[in-house]
Amino acid sequence: MSHDPAPGVTFFATAAKGTEGALRDELRELGLRGVKADRGGVAFTGGWRDGWRACLGSRVAMRVLAEVGSYPATDAASLYEGARGVEWERHVSSRTTIAVSVVGTTPALVHTGFSAQRVKDAIVDRVRDREGARPSVDGDDPDVRVFARLKGGGATVYLDLAGAPLFQRGWRAASAEAPLKETLAAAVLRLSGWTIDQPLFDPMCGSGTILIEAALASRRIAPGLFRARFGFERWASHGPEDAREVAALRAALDAEITADAPPIAGCDADASAVAAAEENARRARVKVALSARPLSLARAPTTQGHVVTNPPYGKRLSRGAGLGDDLGDAMRRHGGHAFGVLTADDATLQGTGRAWDRAFELFNGDLRCRLALFGPVGGPGGGPRPRRIVR
Ligand SMILES: C[S@@+](CC[C@H](N)C(=O)[O-])C[C@H]1O[C@@H](n2cnc3c(N)ncnc32)[C@H](O)[C@@H]1O
């Protein structure tokens, strides 16, 4: 069985809330078509190859879902019957394992676990009718991951192309406290206005997520190259011709890698966090200059560039007294740098004594955060400005 080469798949790439705009821009840059931001992600259209390219190339997407069916579903019977009408046998055989998750409810379908069970039953019954044997369920590491969304009296069912979420790049070995997801760090870099040719400094770098994502982007190392295998490579539909195409896509991305990168550096007060960042950078095979020192002594290696950082905040880490003061001092010491500060704690921002020029509201998991952007002190946009939140 081979994938249908004709364009016509509708995809939905999911993203952390508040980062949809960053993902939309990135997918357009990747050359994808029909790109349209929505709540919680970005839709695009194309052939299967376009979905593979998104998996290999997107730094911001969490998952890439392909729509395989959409039908009215208000209760258990209609949810099951609709799912049974989908041509699952194109991708699922009795030898592939599956897992099903459901989001959303209807008045008659209030338990998502039960709804997932009905969709799963429909898939296994349909495959059993055709093959005489049923696919089995593997909740942890399925070959085919299925999502269903219940909304407005209907169900839409999707296949997850990536399998494990895309923030699991493969380079992280060591963790410090409260690491950012790689996908969120990539989105924050984009939203902060940093571009891949600019120096970057993170004075509270923790496990180094922001720095490593920046170093990878600078060297044009596609995030998917760290993954040995994506979910779609385990589907029944993925034949030898598809495997050759994916290998060619990987080779083309490999050829884009450059050796040059701007200076990328960081520090952290916690020496064990710095050790974790060093280990992660080594595994990602990127160069990041790191040292253990507090924010009050932090010094970027260049006079101009970007500082992008994620200070500790109340709910996940205890807050250091005077952090806002130290951050304000760091801004004055780095007058030629634009600052992007991601925090759930406005007290840290207010403590700097500066008004941000622009702010994005975005979510780190369930935690509502602000990414506040401050222009260089001396440069255009450096003065106090009205605060503007972009949603
Ligand atoms: C939210 S974590 C950063 C996580 C990081 N973005 C990552 O992905 O791993 C905040 C970091 O700030 C560091 N930190 C807290 N107070 C500091 C200070 N005064 N100077 C330098 N680093 C500090 C903590 O050690 C912690 O690693």
CA of 336 to the centre of ligand 1 (A): 22
The CATH code belonging to domain 182-221+257-390 is 3.40.50.150
| Beta-carbon contacts of residue 129 (< 8 Å; ≥ 6 apart) | none
CA of 312 to the centre of ligand 1 (A): 6
Residue 243: predicted pLDDT: 98
10 DSSP β-pair partners: 45
350 DSSP β-pair partners: none
- Nearest-angstrom CA–CA distance, 19 and 296: 31
State which of 213, 268, 272 you would mutate to test the pocket of ligand 1, scoring each by most atoms of that ligand within 8 A of its C-beta. 268
Residue 208: predicted pLDDT: 97
| Fold match flag (9-160 vs 182-221+257-390) | no
Residue 379: predicted pLDDT: 53
Count of other CB atoms within 10 angstroms of residue 159? 26
Q: Residues 104, 95: contact at Cβ < 8 Å?
A: no
- Nearest-angstrom CA–CA distance, 348 and 327: 8
Residue extents of the structural domains in the chain:
9-160, 182-221+257-390
Query: Each residue of 226-252: pLDDT tens digit?
Result: 999 999 999 999 999 999 999 999 999
Q: For residue 58, give the amino acid letter.
A: S
Dig out the tokens for 282 from the structure: 């080594």
- Nearest-angstrom CA–CA distance, 368 and 17: 9
Query: Each residue of 34-88: pLDDT tens digit?
Result: 999 999 999 999 999 999 999 999 999 999 999 999 999 999 999 999 999 999 9
Percentages (nearest 5) of helix, strand, coil residues in the chain = 35, 25, 40
- Nearest-angstrom CA–CA distance, 388 and 22: 18
Nearest CA owner, ligand 1 atom 3:
206
Q: What is the pTM of this model?
A: 0.93
- Nearest-angstrom CA–CA distance, 72 and 154: 4
Read off the DSSP letter of residue 109.
B
Residues with CB under 6 Å of ligand 1 are 176-180, 204, 206-207, 209-210, 268-270, 273, 294-295, 310-312, 317, 320, 323, 326
For the cut 70, the answer to whether the pLDDT of residue 387 exceeds it is: no
Nearest to 148 by CA among 212, 216, 65, 220: 65
The band of 175, judged by pLDDT with boundaries at 50, 70 and 90, is confident
Residue 321: predicted pLDDT: 55
The percent of residues in the chain predicted with pLDDT above 70, rounded, is 93
Summarize the confidence of residues 305-331 as an average pLDDT: 82
The CATH code belonging to domain 9-160 is 3.30.2130.30
For the cut 90, the answer to whether the pLDDT of residue 317 exceeds it is: no
Closest ligand 1 atom number to CA of residue 270: 25
- Nearest-angstrom CA–CA distance, 223 and 167: 9
C-alpha distances (whole Å) from 387 to each of 20, 242, 274, 339 are: 21, 50, 34, 15
- Nearest-angstrom CA–CA distance, 370 and 205: 18
State which of 204, 274, 310, 318 you would mutate to test the pocket of ligand 1, scoring each by most atoms of that ligand within 8 A of its C-beta. 204
- Nearest-angstrom CA–CA distance, 187 and 176: 20
- Nearest-angstrom CA–CA distance, 161 and 164: 9
Strand runs (DSSP E) across 73-115, as ranges?
Answer: 97-103
C-alpha distances (whole Å) from 260 to each of 196, 217, 226, 263, 364 are: 10, 11, 19, 10, 31
The angle at the Cα of 33, spanning 30 to 37, to the nearest 5 degrees, equals 85
C-alpha distances (whole Å) from 45 to each of 28, 36, 238, 325, 355 are: 12, 10, 19, 48, 41
Phi-psi region of 223 (alpha: psi -120 to 50; beta: other; left: phi over 0): alpha
- Nearest-angstrom CA–CA distance, 145 and 159: 6
CA of 56 to the centre of ligand 1 (A): 30
Nearest CA owner, ligand 1 atom 26:
206
C-alpha distances (whole Å) from 40 to each of 14, 121, 159, 231 are: 6, 28, 17, 21
Nearest CA owner, ligand 1 atom 17:
269
Closest ligand 1 atom number to CA of residue 207: 9
- Nearest-angstrom CA–CA distance, 108 and 114: 11
